[in-house]
Structure 1
Amino acid sequence: MNNSFSLEGKVIIVTGGTGILGNAFINGIVEAGGAVGVLGRNKQVADERTAAINAKGGKAIALIADALDEAALTQAKTQILDKFGHIDGLVNGAGGNMPAGVIQPDEDIFKMNIDGMKKVLDINLWGTILPTQIFGEAIAQTGKGSIVNISSMNSKQAVTKVLGYNMGKAAVDCYTEWFAVELANRYGDAIRMNALAPGFFLTEQNRNLLTTPDGGYTSRGESVIHKTPFKRFGHPDELIGALVWLLSDASAFVTGSMICVDGGFSIFSGV
């Protein structure tokens, strides 16, 4: 029986592959039979993760690049094509927040750090669009493939403090829907684009915002848990099933969609 959920024979690039969620993404792809390009700025981590996968019989290559660096991305495309010969999928996992894009409650909202907001917007939006322009071209040459962008709970709701991140992920959702339609107009059902929207997962960027050193919750963390019906944060491995489905032929009639993996956060009013 044909397993439509398998990624056997597919080559998938993961930007942000050196991050916490990126680690789950790359391992999930390999477990589903795919070869993976681990793309990130941290060479040591990319090399370590690639070596671990290859040592266990998987197929991986480290690709050192910033998601906003066109020349580096183009070089990464050459590297992976030289090794595997084709590209079948892309996970746009690069993104996130930074202190310059945060507005604290005691700060004047009419004197916000505009440059900081722009930087956060850039990494989330253009850090999704630029890799798609470069790797997507190779997917088109392959003739069939799937692109998965990483959205967020912030894209549809106002989450306090992180305006730059909110705007970036909202823009990613707009791009996902627009580009999915354009792909369909040009390539039919051969190339698809969807978004995966994680709920709250602990990463290096948000751990101090959501948890205390003793393992408890900050007031912000308690607010998140209150609005999450499952009453816990997600574990990175819990994103794998939805990601593999979107990358695989099992989701062949799905495009322009946002799949929430959030413990119910997006549907609960909090009351």
Structure 2
Amino acid sequence: MQWTFNFKDKVIVITGAGGVICGNLAVEFSKMGAKVALLDLNLEAANNFVDVIKMNNGIAKAYKTDVMDKLNLEEVKEEINNDLGTIDILINGAGGNNYKATTDNEYHIEENSNIRTFYDLDIEGIEFVFNLNYLGTLLPSQVFSKDMIGKEGANIINISSMNAFTPLTKIPAYSGAKSAISNFTKWLAVYFSKVGIRCNAIAPGFLVTSQNKQLLFNEDGTPSNRAKKILNNTPMERFGKPNELVGAVFFLADEQFSSFVNGVILPIDGGFSSYSGV
């Protein structure tokens, strides 16, 4: 095989592109000749990656986007079509957790008014987490896939999580929402199978991001107790890096490499999902 990844002139939409993981994906796709639309509610954060892309003579534009607002998504799609062209690839990267949907302890213990238990989880917090992760994947898929029907090489890549395989402690809403994304990925792969749109997902292991940095490290920079548990259950004994997701995403996105890959949830986790702990 003499193939190399080629995304020349492909229009790629990436949601959550103001974050480290998806912003880095946007930069790497631009290096391969893609025209990248970076969507994020935080326009400034997305524009920071656009600046990097343009410094390397890439083509990119940021769009302030609420992935839970279908009308807004449709308006953004029209802007993208006018600015960059019709869409070839969608990467659904928007997501996150909320402290209101998180318990303080891993296990239920005697009632203590100073900690948040399962019984104290906030309904609005739970709804926010589900809407951001699940609806924030479903709605962009509804809107942007309209450009992809019958288009050669068109595909959707969702971002699932280790939570979808085995739920992590403390975060039941986030775990459930990511499981829903994995299920939705398989459903969408079947639904679009007759019109040429493939749908797959990656399930990243534990990477250090701005969202989880405070959970993983103490103020002095040493790993927190939760981080130690993660590392002890990751055979490679380290956290992943954003650029370690790029090859897998390129593989799934490039039709010449993965034309028969559909409905797959690909772990990128240093072996975490394979290790039983013993």
Q: TM-score, normalised by structure 1?
A: 0.94
Root-mean-square deviation over aligned CA pairs: 1.5
Report the AA paired with residue 30 of structure 1: S
Tell me the residue number matched to 1:251: 258
Q: 2: distance between equivalents of 1:240 and 1:221?
A: 24
Q: Which residue of 2 aligns with 1:232?
A: 238
Match of 2:210 in 1: 204
After TM superposition, give the deviation of residue 112 of structure 1 in Å.
Answer: 2.4
Opposite residue 120 of structure 1, the aligned amino acid is: V
Runs of 5+ in structure 1 lacking a partner?
Answer: none
2:176 to 167, 173, 189: 167
Question: Which consecutive aligned stretches of 4+ in structure 1 deviate over 6 angstroms post-superposition?
Answer: none
Report what 1:223 is aligned to.
229
CA distance in 2, matches of 1:142, 1:99: 41
**What is the CA deviation profile of residues 234-255 of structure 1, one whole-angstrom value per residue up to 9, with x for unaligned ones?**
0001000001111111111101
Aligned residue number for residue 132 of structure 1: 141
Structure 2 CA distance for partners of 1:132 and 1:197, relative to 1, 3 Å: same
How far off its partner does 1:176 sit?
0.5
Taking the aligned partners of 1:262 and 1:137, their CA distance within structure 2 comes to: 32
Could you tell me how far apart the structure 2 residues matched to 1:259 and 1:99 are?
27
Partner amino acid for 2:11? Answer: V
The partner residue of 1:154 within 151, 159, 163 is: 163
2:101–2:126 contact (8 Å) kept in structure 1: yes
SS in 2 for 1:149: strand
What is the aligned residue count?
268
Structure 1: which amino acid aligns with 2:21? L
Kindly provide the CA deviation profile for residues 28-83 of structure 1, in whole angstroms up to 9, marking residues without a partner as x: 21122211101001122222321331232111111111111112211111111112
For residues 25 and 8 of structure 1, the distance between their equivalents in structure 2, rounded to whole angstroms, comes to 15
Report how far residue 2 of structure 1 moved.
6.5
Unaligned runs of 5+ in 2: 106-114
- Contact 2:153 2:254 (8 Å CA) reproduced: no
Paired residue secondary structure (2:245):
helix
Q: Secondary structure at the match of 1:140?
A: coil
- Note the C-alpha offset of 1:151: 0.3
* 1:110 aligned residue: 119
Q: CA deviation at 1:114?
A: 2.3
Contact 1:37–1:60 under 8 Å retained in 2: yes
1-structure distance, mates of 2:219, 2:119: 33
TM superposition score normalised by structure 2: 0.92
8 Å Cα contact 2:16-2:92 kept in structure 1: yes
